């Protein structure tokens, strides 16, 4: 990392002073941020930018970096991402390079690049400091969420890597390697479990290989972080540390998500079934929903809940009898299971109504799954006692992002929301999906 910055020559500083109004106007006018958040109060941002640009054009390096730190903290306070501020600084750099080239001062671009590197590192240090603090806090919430799950199987081993990540973030925050977490993937607690019991429990070989790959990546990155922190002069590249730690969090969440999906597969095998259809029984809905909510909070992943209602089902019972109706319900579940993952959970809610829980999925992908189910059921014909029976299904879906601790009213609230969407699908002519 740079320890000394070769700043602009006195002649160039005089040039920048003469162009200060142009630089300020050009930057603020074309500033991406000011264009995208006009509705917010940007006066503080513009004021801090003006101070920063004034220090830049007057050649005061110390005041320049101080004003940059203040600007960065304002961005953090407004929850504006690091990459946005970085793009703004890159835009300013482009304006200055263009000026230097146009006025035959190409040699000054070298000093500008050095200054930009130091400035970016200052910004990254501020963002890294707040990120490590927030990460430690949210990881403790994730631990609490897993602890609050009513039932869990392999996902309990995610706890080990959350604790590992907390330790990593704390060591980066303290710039300390004395209590650094294990960098050898085979020696950490999760690695030991994955190599022994985990490999026996996880029957899906592709999932096991994916977990091993992700686990290997996270430990490799941690070893790079440890190497950076061993620098004796403490002149770290904070941009790289920030990038590495963010990547470690994403990989950790990926491990948690994969383990949660495996847990759901086990739940599907062990939970009480509806004797007619083979779907899970309604008595397990509350427990499964709470578990899904808690793991969603622990892995920062969204999930989708969909409600199905078979259209004109009463007419089938009235016209063809309850045995025919039962067969339609059974065939519907066969169709549903043919389009969902082993980790997705289908529950008979009552009569001809079903609830489907799709974990770790986008709304778009969930909609595509539901549309395949809808079309397949629309095209299905049940042959029963010389009769061809056809019907359709209406579907209401909602996306859930867990943000707060679970409470017993959440299931009722979300089922009501999904049911409202289902009602709108019915009102819209049936045989459609409302989201």
At 137-151, the pLDDT tens digits run 999 999 999 998 888
Write down the pLDDT at residue 33: 52
Write down the pLDDT at residue 4: 39
DSSP count for the chain of H helices, then E strands: 17, 7
Check residue 278 and give left, alpha or beta (phi > 0: left; psi -120 to 50: alpha).
left
Q: How far apart are CA 355 and CA 7, in angstroms?
A: 65
Contact present, 277 and 328 (Cβ < 8 Å): no
Which residues does the chain have with pLDDT short of 50? 1-5, 32, 34, 39
CA geometry: angle 162, 168, 172, nearest 5 deg: 145
Q: Secondary structure of the chain: what % helix, strand, coil (to 5)?
A: 65, 10, 25
Q: What is the maximal distance between C-alpha atoms in the chain?
A: 97
Write down the pLDDT at residue 1: 39
Write down the pLDDT at residue 172: 95
Half-sphere exposure of 355 (CA within 13 A, CB side): 26
Write down the pLDDT at residue 232: 64
Q: How far apart are CA 433 and CA 435, in angstroms?
A: 7
Write down the pLDDT at residue 251: 96
Write down the pLDDT at residue 40: 54
How many other C-beta atoms can be found within 10 angstroms of the C-beta atom of residue 232? 5
Contact present, 49 and 71 (Cβ < 8 Å): yes
The secondary structure element, H or E, covering residue 169 is: helix 158-173
Residue at token pair 């482009």: 94
DSSP letter string, 28-93:
HHH-HHHHH-TTS--HHHHHHHHHHHHHHHTT-HHHHHHHHHHHHHHHHHTT--HHHHHHHHHHHH
């Amino acid at each position: 990392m740079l320890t000394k910055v070769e700043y602009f020559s006195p002649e160039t500083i005089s040039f920048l002073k003469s162009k200060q109004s142009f630089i300020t106007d050009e930057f603020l006018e074309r500033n991406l941020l000011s264009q995208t958040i006009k509705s917010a109060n940007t006066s503080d941002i513009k004021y801090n930018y003006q101070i920063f640009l004034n220090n830049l054009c007057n050649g005061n390096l110390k005041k320049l970096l101080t004003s940059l730190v203040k600007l960065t903290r304002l961005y953090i306070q407004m929850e504006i991402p690091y990459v946005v501020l970085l793009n703004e600084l890159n835009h300013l750099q482009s304006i200055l390079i263009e000026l230097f080239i146009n006025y035959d001062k190409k040699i000054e671009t070298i000093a500008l690049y050095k200054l930009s590197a130091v400035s970016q590192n200052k910004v990254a240090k501020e963002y890294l400091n707040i990120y490590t603090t927030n990460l430690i806090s949210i990881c403790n919430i994730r631990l609490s969420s897993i602890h609050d799950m009513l039932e869990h199987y392999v996902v309990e081993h995610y706890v080990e890597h959350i604790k590992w990540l907390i330790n990593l973030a704390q060591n980066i925050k303290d710039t300390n390697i004395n209590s650094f977490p294990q960098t050898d993937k085979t020696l950490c607690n999760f690695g030991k479990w994955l190599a022994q019991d985990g490999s026996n429990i996880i029957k899906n070989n592709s999932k096991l290989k994916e977990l091993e790959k992700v686990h290997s990546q996270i430990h490799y990155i941690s070893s790079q972080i440890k190497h950076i922190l061993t620098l004796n002069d403490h002149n770290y590249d904070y941009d790289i540390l920030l990038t590495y730690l963010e990547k470690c969090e994403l990989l950790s969440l990926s491990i948690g998500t994969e383990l949660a999906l495996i847990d759901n597969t086990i739940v599907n095998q062990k939970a009480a079934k509806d004797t007619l259809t083979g779907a899970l029984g309604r008595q397990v809905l509350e427990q499964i929903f709470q578990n899904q909510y808690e793991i969603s909070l622990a892995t920062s992943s969204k999930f989708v809940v969909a409600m199905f209602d078979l259209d004109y089902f009463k007419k089938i019972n009235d016209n063809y009898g309850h045995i025919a109706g039962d067969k339609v319900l059974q065939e519907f579940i066969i169709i549903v299971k043919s389009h969902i993952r082993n980790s997705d959970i289908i529950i008979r809610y009552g009569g001809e109504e079903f609830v489907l829980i799709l974990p770790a999925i986008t709304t778009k992908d969930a909609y595509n799954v539901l549309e395949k189910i809808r079309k397949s059921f629309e095209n299905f014909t049940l042959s029963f006692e010389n009769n061809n029976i056809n019907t359709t299904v209406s579907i209401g879906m909602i996306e859930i992002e867990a943000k707060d601790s679970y409470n017993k009213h959440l299931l009722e609230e979300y089922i009501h929301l999904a049911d409202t969407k289902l009602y709108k699908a019915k009102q819209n002519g049936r045989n459609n999906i409302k989201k």
